[in-house]
Structure 1
Amino acid sequence: MKEYQQKQLLERVNREGATVGADIPDRIAVQGEEVNLREFVFEIKRRDTIPPGERDRVERAKKNLRRERLQRVQQIERNEVSYEEGAELVESVIGIDRALNALEQLRPADLEREAKAQHAADQKRWMKFLKQALGREDANKPNRR
């Protein structure tokens, strides 16, 4: 592969917004093991949060995906592949990035509960502040005359 082609491929991998409109691959070899990547991501994403029992599995998957991404990019950087193979690697890297983005957006279930409790406490403090600021703090208390 020529140097300008290599630079073109690497620029595409590192381009901001490269994952916009990209599909998560159905199946991908990650660390030598075939993975139904799309199915895995959609199964986890359907829940909106990561249940405590699944957290290790998701973290392990993200770690393996990052490692696989790095290895594929390094193949292009070391010029170990033809331009056509490099273009296929770029597509797979963008798909991996898309999957990683989807998995990174998920929050652990216990953090979800904590966030809701924090939001409720913030609203309560805000309402108390507003009542004090508007002079209505005493309106809810019985008269003590």
Structure 2
Amino acid sequence: MREFERKQLLERVEREGATLGADIPDEIEVQGETVELHQFVFEIKRRDTVPPGERERVEEAKKNLRRERLQRKQRLEDEAEAADLTFAEGEELVESIIGIDRALEALQSLGPTSIEQEAKAQEAADKKRWMKFLKQALGREDDTGKRGGY
């Protein structure tokens, strides 16, 4: 593959909205294991909530997909490795990266897992603010963290 073709393919990977209209691949090899990606994403997305036992599986899948995406992108970024690819192979690689991105978007948009995490973080921040307010209101701690009063 020529240098300008490599750069063109990398630009497609990074393009805003590259996943619009893209399909999630039926199968993909991730970390040496064939995964029925489309079926997995569809199965997870059709549920109203992700059961606690499935959350770990989804998080592990997202981690593995991110790792696989990075490895595939690095193949294109590495000039020596990309030189061994034909343009058609490079296009296939780009399509697989965009498919992985599409699957990751679908898995990221799962409402209950991210909403629950966000709610826990919000609750922790609220408690911290409330405790700080109480300490200041009761004169136990001022803005510098020292004991108040005298």
- In the superposition, the TM-score normalised over structure 2's length comes to 0.71
Secondary structure of the equivalent of 1:54? Answer: helix
Distance 1:54 1:75, change over 3 A: same
Q: Does 1:82 align with 2:74?
A: no
Quote the sequence identity (%).
67
Q: Is the 8 A contact 1:27 1:37 kept in 2?
A: yes
Superposition CA RMSD, Å: 2.1
Q: 1:78-117 residue pairs with structure 2 within 5 A?
A: 78-79=78-79, 80=81, 81-106=85-110, 107-108=112-113, 111=116
After superposing on structure 2, the runs of 4+ consecutive aligned residues of structure 1 that deviate more than 6 Å are: none
Q: d(CA) in 2 for partners of 1:100 and 1:10?
A: 19
Distance 1:110 1:65 in 2: 21
Number of residues paired by the alignment?
A: 115
1:110–1:21 distance in 2 versus 1, CA, 3 Å: closer
Q: Residues 109 and 19 of structure 1: is their aligned pair in 2 closer, same or farther, counting only changes over 3 Å?
A: closer
C-alpha distance in structure 2 between counterparts of 1:111 and 1:37, whole Å: 25
Question: In 1, Cα distance between the equivalents of 2:114 and 2:15?
Answer: 32
Matches within 5 A, 1:37-76: 37-76=37-76
Q: TM-score, normalised by structure 1?
A: 0.74
Distance 1:9 1:87, change over 3 A: same
Per the TM alignment, residue 33 of structure 1 is displaced from its structure 2 partner at its CA by 0.2
Q: Which has the larger radius of gyration?
A: 1
Whole-angstrom CA distance in 1 between matches of 2:32 and 2:70? 14
| Structure 2: gaps of 5 or more residues | 124-150
Task: Give, in whole Å, the separation in 1 of the partners of 2:45 and 2:100.
Answer: 15
Which structure 1 segments of 5+ residues have no match?
119-145
